[in-house]
Amino acid sequence: MAPNLPTENIHSHNLKQLLASKIDEHNKKVSTFRKLHGGTVVQNLTVDMIYGGMRSLKALLTETSEIDPEKGIQFRGYAFEECLKLLPKATNGEQPLPEGVFFLLLTGEIPNEAQVEEISREWARRSEVPEHVEKTLKTFPKTLHPMAQMSAAIASLAGDSKFAKAFANKVPKSSYWEYVYEDAMDLLAKLPKIAAMIYRNLYKDGVVHGEIDSSKDWSSNYASFLGNNSPQFIELIRLYNTIYCDHEGGNVIAHTCQLVASSLSNPYLAYSAAMGALAGPLAGGAHAEVLFFLNKLTSEHGYDIDEENLRFLLWEHLISSQVIPGYGHAVLRTTDPRDTAFRSFGLKHLPNNPYMKLCSALYNTVPDILIEQGKVKNPYTNVEAHSGVLLQHFGIQEVDFYPVMIGVARAIGCMSQMIWDRGMGLPIERPKSISTESLMKLVNEKKTVVFD
């Protein structure tokens, strides 16, 4: 169930002030909870969890969002559909402004329009990218992957870290979060231009056209930096950033960011490391995999594949031990509601796009086939099923750039959580590792109970 509904009770539009009271209140609650239940066992650890990438091990704390296997992502308890409905939109827009989801992830409250507007203004005010970053990006060879450029550009902002300076000046631990908040706001403000610089350098004329327009929202400026001012593309960017903003803490991007920042490394270095994690094909490569798959189908069989033929081709694909990209999920057991939002956008704005039509044919065919095959736990679409098709339609054709776009969006969630991590005074992460030999010994000595 969703927590408190919209925020008539919040008179102050000052996000930092509101956050200070929220953190204080939350810390008191956690302190009482830990006093009462600090020794309570939550989950048993099995040998398979240790060998299996810690799957389903509940050992990380993330306040901003949580995935419900049946309902999908919940941002502070609000289902994605509720967020689409409740978060403020731009004038004449239908998609939520990502500034609003940032407010929600930080505070647990649905913001009003003035609160969202304040974030837009604040990000516009902080958006200037230092000259040295721009120059550094220009010196990179075109062969350097956009994610390596993204990671390097973010790391090179670290010299301006307000948190690093405050830490060196020995500010009290209780105020760390305030400086992390400042860095988070600065980073979020600059990311659209950094991403656009990478895009324009690598694939276009090397020039980011236009200055920041402080009367516009974050996504409008981002879209125009990328080189497309069309209202539909701006709406897609708003939706895209809201969709990819956060996905609880266990994914490799969020986990890397949280781990690195736990050493009190500054937010820029932590997020730069997270970009290294996102660059891996198992993390940021799925948008592209869907497009490669659609491309393979259409280049061999054209765009109008009838249902019988499509079923045959899908079986052929599965029999050759390949997965159908855009379907299945490690945690979710239903259609990802974020894909439902992307699909609705596609059906509304690009109904005649040939890839969109093929996606619809797949949408109606793949789940039955995967169910018949009998292996997958979830035969329905995930968030990647339509995302690449939408970006391609609006001219972002370069698949290597897609993880950079996820990187811009995911900073919303990672930075929100980092502010809370420092606000809660969470310690440096230091789990215990164990060798196979010691693990076998432990199991043989029955020092631990092993569950199925």
Q: Which residues bind ligand CMX (CB under 6 A)?
A: 286, 318, 323-330, 370, 375-378, 382-384
Under 8 Å between Cβ of 317 and 357: no
To ligand CMX, the closest distance from the beta carbon of 333 in angstroms equals: 9
Nearer Cβ to ligand CMX (269/297): 297
Q: How far apart are CA 96 and CA 408, in angstroms?
A: 16
To ligand CMX, the closest distance from the beta carbon of 366 in angstroms equals: 8
Q: How far apart are CA 200 and CA 207, in angstroms?
A: 6
Under 8 Å between Cβ of 207 and 237: no
Residue 95 neighbours by CB under 8 Å, 6+ apart: 84, 89, 235, 236, 238, 239, 242, 345
To ligand CMX, the closest distance from the beta carbon of 339 in angstroms equals: 9
3-state secondary structure of 66: strand
Nearer Cβ to ligand CMX (375/441): 375
Comparing every residue's Cβ against ligand CMX, the nearest one is: 328
Nearer Cβ to ligand CMX (289/429): 289
Closest CA to 413 of 150, 22, 98, 173: 98
Q: How far apart are CA 191 and CA 413, in angstroms?
A: 14
Nearer Cβ to ligand CMX (34/377): 377
Whole-Å CA distances, 156 to 5, 64, 161, 208, 280: 40, 27, 10, 19, 21
To ligand CMX, the closest distance from the beta carbon of 417 in angstroms equals: 18
To ligand CMX, the closest distance from the beta carbon of 317 in angstroms equals: 8
To ligand CMX, the closest distance from the beta carbon of 428 in angstroms equals: 28
Mutual orientation of helices 286-301 and 402-423 as an angle, nearest 10°?
A: 160
To ligand CMX, the closest distance from the beta carbon of 286 in angstroms equals: 4
Under 8 Å between Cβ of 304 and 311: no
Q: How far apart are CA 24 and CA 250, in angstroms?
A: 25
Nearer Cβ to ligand CMX (218/380): 380
Residue 54 neighbours by CB under 8 Å, 6+ apart: 250
Nearer Cβ to ligand CMX (227/388): 388
For the record, the structure tokens of 210 come out as: 């236009």
Q: How far apart are CA 372 and CA 381, in angstroms?
A: 16
Nearer Cβ to ligand CMX (127/378): 378
To ligand CMX, the closest distance from the beta carbon of 53 in angstroms equals: 10
Q: How far apart are CA 48 and CA 95, in angstroms?
A: 42
Nearer Cβ to ligand CMX (164/383): 383
Residue 217 per-residue DSSP state: -
Tokens 């990502």 belong to: 98
Under 8 Å between Cβ of 198 and 150: yes
Under 8 Å between Cβ of 147 and 398: no
Nearer Cβ to ligand CMX (47/318): 318
Q: How far apart are CA 393 and CA 190, in angstroms?
A: 26
Nearer Cβ to ligand CMX (279/370): 370
To ligand CMX, the closest distance from the beta carbon of 95 in angstroms equals: 20
Residues written for the chain: 452
Nearer Cβ to ligand CMX (76/329): 329
Neighbours of 385 (CB within 10 A): 28
To ligand CMX, the closest distance from the beta carbon of 282 in angstroms equals: 8
To ligand CMX, the closest distance from the beta carbon of 407 in angstroms equals: 15
To ligand CMX, the closest distance from the beta carbon of 429 in angstroms equals: 23
Nearer Cβ to ligand CMX (268/327): 327
Neighbours of 162 (CB within 10 A): 18
Neighbours of 149 (CB within 10 A): 23
